Amino acid sequence: MAYTVINEEGFNYIETKGGKKNLLLLHGLFGALSNFSGILDHFGKSYNVIVPILPIFEMPLRKVSVSGLVDYVAKFVEKKKYKTVHVLGNSLGGHISLLYALAYPRKINSITLTGSSGLFENSMGSTFPKRGNYEYIKKKTQGTFYNPEVATKELVDEVFDIVNDRSKAIRVIAVAKSAIRHNLRDKLHDIKAPTLLIWGKEDNITPAFVGEEFHKLIDDSRLYLIDKCGHAPMMEYPEIFNGYLEKFLNEVTEGVPTGRNR
């Protein structure tokens, strides 16, 4: 299903308005709206699913940081007058979700993290060697997934365009370095919201042990590991991902203690 991007007072976003409960999706550093198509299609009619497009490439360079993006999300939620949200983040989006939850705990119904940064992550590095080499970028993009076919030509083209645009590349590096500086190990005990962790066992960027470490450090959390899956489970295994997410959201909404699954 195609969704219209709304432009409203400096915010670009998708909103399904399918239900009263708000499900806020935060994408990663190289994320695109297509990354969340499975979630939008599955939950769009039962939840108000919202995907703000993070202004990584539009913000002034001096403000490009994880903190700057958290501030953007806070202003967006305030602008839209959402009383509370279920927040879900992939990769950098997970990191932003955690920082937002720490800063605004009363706004959070639940947190879902998948391949989140915040503790440890591998990346393309602090520079982009061979950035003009399409095959190199293609291989790096395919490495995000267990099944390289998930990296469509459209997705590879998007990443290639980003890393070959000097202005965008500088911002990617700035945000990546900022994320490394914002390690959350000593703060995760302050997360009180029910938290769902969905991780690919073959994630090369935030390996499975990172999900296990989040699980240890966040009290009210449950962890699911998916076999033969990389850094974006919602893209590689949308049905399994949505099944875990739906069960979790139903339990949170009904007030059923989520407990620890392992």
- Give me the mean pLDDT over the 2-16 stretch: 92
Residue 154 lies in a domain: no
Residues in contact with 84: Cβ distance below 8 Å, sequence separation at least 6, in sequence order: 22, 106, 107, 108, 109
Q: Could you tell me the residue range of the domain that residue 84 belongs to? A: 6-120+183-254
Backbone angles phi and psi of 176, in degrees to 5: -60, -45
Q: Domain total for the chain?
A: 1
- Give me the mean pLDDT over the 105-134 stretch: 80
| CA-to-CA dists, residue 150 to 97, 154, 227, 232, 237, angstroms | 25, 11, 16, 10, 10
Check whether 85 has a pLDDT greater than 90.
Answer: yes
How far is residue 207's CA from residue 102's CA, in Å, rounded to a whole number? 24
Helix (H, G, I), strand (E, B) or coil at 91: coil
How far is residue 216's CA from residue 213's CA, in Å, rounded to a whole number? 5
Q: What is the mean pLDDT of the chain?
A: 91
Task: Look up the pTM and report it.
Answer: 0.93
Helix (H, G, I), strand (E, B) or coil at 6: strand
Q: Say if CB 178 and CB 94 are below 8 A apart.
A: no
Residue 149 lies in a domain: no
Q: What is the DSSP string of 7-35?
A: EETTEEEEE---SSSEEEEE--TT--GGG
> Which among 190, 252, 215 is positioned nearest to 47, based on CA atoms?
252
pLDDT of residue 262: 47
pLDDT tens for residues 23-70?
A: 999 999 887 778 999 999 999 999 999 999 999 998 888 888 999 999
Check whether 79 has a pLDDT greater than 70.
Answer: yes
Q: Say if CB 10 and CB 59 are below 8 A apart.
A: no
> Which among 137, 35, 48 is positioned nearest to 90, based on CA atoms?
35
Residue 88 lies in a domain: yes
pLDDT of residue 253: 86
Residue 114 lies in a domain: yes
Where residue 259 falls among pLDDT bands split at 50, 70, 90?
Answer: low
Q: How many Cβ atoms sit within 10 Å of the Cβ of residue 122?
A: 13
Residue 51 lies in a domain: yes
Residue 248 lies in a domain: yes
Residue 199 lies in a domain: yes
Residue 73 lies in a domain: yes
How far is residue 239's CA from residue 261's CA, in Å, rounded to a whole number? 20
Q: What is the CATH number of the domain that holds 109?
A: 3.40.50.1820
